[in-house]
Each structure stands twice: as structure tokens, then as C-alpha cells.
Amino acid sequence: MIIVIKQNPDEKQLNNLVKWVRSLGLEVHMSRGENTNIMGLIGDTSAVDIDLIRSLDIVETVKRIQEPYKNANRKFHPQDTVVSVGGYPIGGGHFQFMAGPCSVESEEQVIAIAKAVKEAGATILRGGAFKPRTSPYAFQGLGESGIQLLLEAKRETGMPIVTELMSVRHIDAFRDVDMIQIGARNMQNFELLKEVGRTDKPILLKRGLANTIQEWLMSAEYIMSEGNMNVVLCERGIRTFEPYTRNTLDLSAIPLLRDLTHLPIIVDPSHASGISKLVAPMSLAAVGAGTDGLMIEVHNNPACALCDGPQALTPEQFADVVKNVDVLLPIVHRVRDGK
Ligand code: PEP
Ligand code: MN
């Protein structure tokens, strides 16, 4: 971290700043010029409050040289992390399809969809039991019984399951879930992040609706700082001024994150676009940009879905996406494998 000190600073305040920085276990390197004085902080500055320093009278500007995330940072962990979900690896060249309904609606529905997406090539079954709906009057999901139905589908098909945890209160119901999803709306629910950080389950961390890449990585850091390194990032579109699509898929986040972090990155083109017709082209684009997997909403009867029908693919449409993605995977050095 570099602190630019104003001209002719109050020496007492400057000494106090140096003492305080040293008390944090950091070394101080001072370079005094004719017009500017620059203070370099050497050591781990991730716990230093940059806004506090910026607010001091004697400080002109402050710049972070080192990123505030350590565990997620590729600098300290150059190899790709591979996260295994029920025997299916994600990252480091391994690619998976996660597919299933937005919400679990009934036993017949989830089992029929699970069988169809498995047949098409999906290896991980998705389905919401606890649903984060904008309206309190909309279908809220089946809750714990929805998880039981997902587990039933897992028994029938052998597919590991991923489902969203919205509250620390529900965590006991997730004991047999293979991967816990933290949804966009909870990306900065720090207590929830810490709680899943204390489990040993793979975590699917979706990007918040209006969060920067750095904020997203800091949320991953929350999970990892509690000891759980099995984090997969999921780009699911961000809010922009464009109303034609539900969100705007930020594909540039993928190659960017690839340099910043060793964690696997997947894409959810369903929530990113909100329109079923856009899911196939956005899936191919995401593969081109280097995604390690795709999470796609599939429904056996999209017109009657209780949630997110307009963005759901039919099992046949999903099978087509898999076929087309398979053509591209060798070009981006990815394989679909596992178990
Ligand atoms: C979901 O995957 O079911 C979901 C609600 O997604 P998001 O949190 O990205 O909106
Ligand atoms: Mn949905």
C-alpha cells in the first residue's frame, strides 16, 4: 500500500501515522521528495482500513498495491483449484453441466427433469427448495420437503445435487446436499458466508446483482477464511440500464477472474438473460470466454413452471446446447469427465 502525504505535513501527525502502521505489524518505507512524501507499507495490508487512512488530514491519496483477498488470490496459489461435486470435478480443465428446474415443484416433476437432463449430459442436478422471490406473495419454494424431493431424485439418478441456502437457520436440512448455492441476493450476507465456510461442502457463490468483481472475490474470501476452500464462482448477470434482458451477462468477468483467482468459474445464462432463446447462444459465448461449467434451468413444461418459466429450456433444447458445447470444448481445452 502506498500513502501519498501532503506537502509540509504536521510532523506529529505523521509520526502518529508511522507508529500506528508499525503497531499493525507492517514496515514503513518513507521516501521524502521536494514536493511529495511517499510512505510505502510493507507486509500483509489486507486488514488495513484504507478509508480511515484516506480521511487523515495529512494524507493526499492512498493506493492499494496488493489485493485485499489472500486465499482466493492466484498470486499465492498459482495452480487452478479443482472442486469436486459428488465425484464430478470443476476447474483445471474439467467442465460440468448443472441443470434442472428453477424450483422443485413435485416429486414427478423433479425426477422427470433429473432423468432427462442426465440423459442429455448434465452431471449435477440443480433445483431450488428455498426460493428468494422478489414478491412475498410469489411461490416461495417447498422448503425442507423440496430438499427431500431433490434427495429422492439423487437416489433415482445418482446425480449429486446443488440447491440454495438462504438462511443459517436452515443449514441442518442441507446435511446431505452435495453443493450449497449462495444466491445473488445473499452474496454479501456475511454471516451466511462464514457459516458455509465452516462446512466442508463445495459452495457455489453467485455474483450479486450489482457487485463488483472485487466484492465478489471478498465474499469468496469470507468462505475461505473460515477454512472451506471449495468455492466455485458463478457469473449470473449483473443489473444494467438495459431492460430487454433480465440482467446483462458479464462475460469479460471470466478471463479477468482467471488471472485474479485460482477458483473455478461457471456461468448461469438462464438468470443472466431471462429469455430461453438467449440461453443457447450465451452458453456458447461463455464456453468461448473460458467458463468451467454451465448452470442451466430446464423444465419439462416451461409454460406452467411455478418460477422462471420464460427462461427455462425444455429437455430437448438443453440436449441441443450440450451437443453444441461439446463441439467447442476441445478448442478451449476442457473435458467433461468424472465419476
Ligand atoms: C437460482 O439459481 O435459482 C437463483 C435464484 O439465482 P440467482 O441467485 O442468480 O438469482
Ligand atoms: Mn430461477
Tell which residue, 204, 9, 173, has the closest CA to residue 104: 173
Say how far apart CA 114 and CA 109 lie, in whole Å.
Answer: 9
Ligand 1 pocket (Cβ < 6 Å) reads 102, 128, 132, 164, 183-185, 206, 236, 268, 271
Query: How does DSSP assign 35-65, residue by residue?
Result: S-EEEEEES--TT--HHHHHTSTTEEEEE-S
Q: How far is the CA of 133 from the centre of ligand 2 (A)?
A: 9
Q: What is the pLDDT along the chain (339 residues), one digit of tens a residue?
A: 999 999 999 999 999 999 999 999 999 998 888 888 899 999 989 889 999 999 999 999 999 988 899 999 999 999 999 999 999 999 999 999 999 999 999 999 999 999 999 999 999 999 999 999 999 999 999 999 999 999 999 999 999 999 999 999 999 999 999 999 999 999 999 999 999 999 999 999 999 999 999 999 999 999 999 999 999 999 999 999 999 999 999 999 999 999 999 999 999 999 999 999 999 999 999 999 999 999 999 999 999 999 999 999 999 999 999 999 999 999 999 999 999
* 245-289 tens-digit pLDDT: 999 999 999 999 999 999 999 999 999 999 999 999 999 999 999
Say how far apart CA 320 and CA 4 lie, in whole Å.
Answer: 57
Ligand nearest to the CA of 272: 1
Q: How far is the CA of 184 from the centre of ligand 1 (A)?
A: 6
Q: How far is the CA of 286 from the centre of ligand 2 (A)?
A: 19
